[in-house]
Amino acid sequence: MEEKKIQSQINEINRKLDIVLEEIELQRKHRREIDDLKDDLMRVGNDLYATAVTELEDVHDYLETGDILHLGKKLLRNVKTMNKMFDQIESARDFLEDVSPLIRESIIDIMNKLDEYDRKGYFQFIKQSETIIENVITSFSPEDVKALGDNIVTILNTIKNLTQPDMLQAINNAVSVYKKLDIEIEDDVSYFQLFKTMNTPEMRKGIAFGIKFLKSLAETQTTNGKLTTVKKEQTN
């Protein structure tokens, strides 16, 4: 009985020793891992230190410890500002994400419209217009352009009068009549034939119209001449 009890105690002691040995082995393994990690960190730290020393040699004349401290303080003082800045950047990113489809659609619409203009010949027309402008520029001297500027009001008024419906109708009638004319003048025309022709109602109306037209033209020129003279006298 005593032997069994002693054997049981020995077994218990052996079991506890096994536990202690396992714990010691774990501690040894853990210490070895820590030593390996420390060695790795030391190598990395030495490399970082050597690299930092090498790189900082280029800026050590321009950098002082106080500058780094001042920068750190400034960063700490502006943490809220930087947070706001980051919030704005995030808002801008969200805005770009929302507006990107619209921008793509707008670009596609613009490209389609440009393609339509190209098919209709707009760009070819603009290209040919450059030749027209170049011909105009090379055909007129600076004095001609100055004279054009001085008389631009008169030119525009003339164009305005020519584009009135009654004036356009009169010009159209004159052109139509001219197209329909088939005049053949004989080599031998007597005064009697001329007087006979002048005695017709159409000829009398034509002569009356010509006289009134010339009279009105002369009156207009006289009025414009007086106005020009008055303007010159006022200018002088």
Q: What is the pLDDT along the chain (236 residues), one digit of tens a residue?
A: 667 777 787 778 778 888 888 888 888 888 888 888 888 888 888 888 888 778 777 777 777 777 778 888 888 888 899 999 999 999 999 998 888 888 889 999 999 998 998 888 888 888 888 888 888 778 888 888 788 888 888 888 888 887 888 877 877 777 776 666 565 656 666 767 767 777 778 777 777 877 876 777 677 666 655 545 545 555 55
Which sequence spans correspond to the domains of the chain? 2-63, 79-139, 147-184, 194-230
Element (H, E) at 66: helix 65-77
| pLDDT tens string 68-95 | 788 888 888 888 999 999 999 999 999 9
DSSP 40-66: HHHHHHHHHHHHHHHHHTTTTTT--HH
Cβ within 8 Å of residue 203, ≥6 positions away: 197
Longest dimension (CA), the chain: 180
Q: Nearest CA to 83 among 72, 75, 93, 95?
A: 75
Reported pTM: 0.34
CB-hemisphere CA count at 13 Å for 73?
6
Token digits for 191? 């005064």
Answer yes or no: are the C-beta atoms of 179 and 173 closer than 8 Å: no
Instruction: State which amino acid sits at residue 45.
Output: G
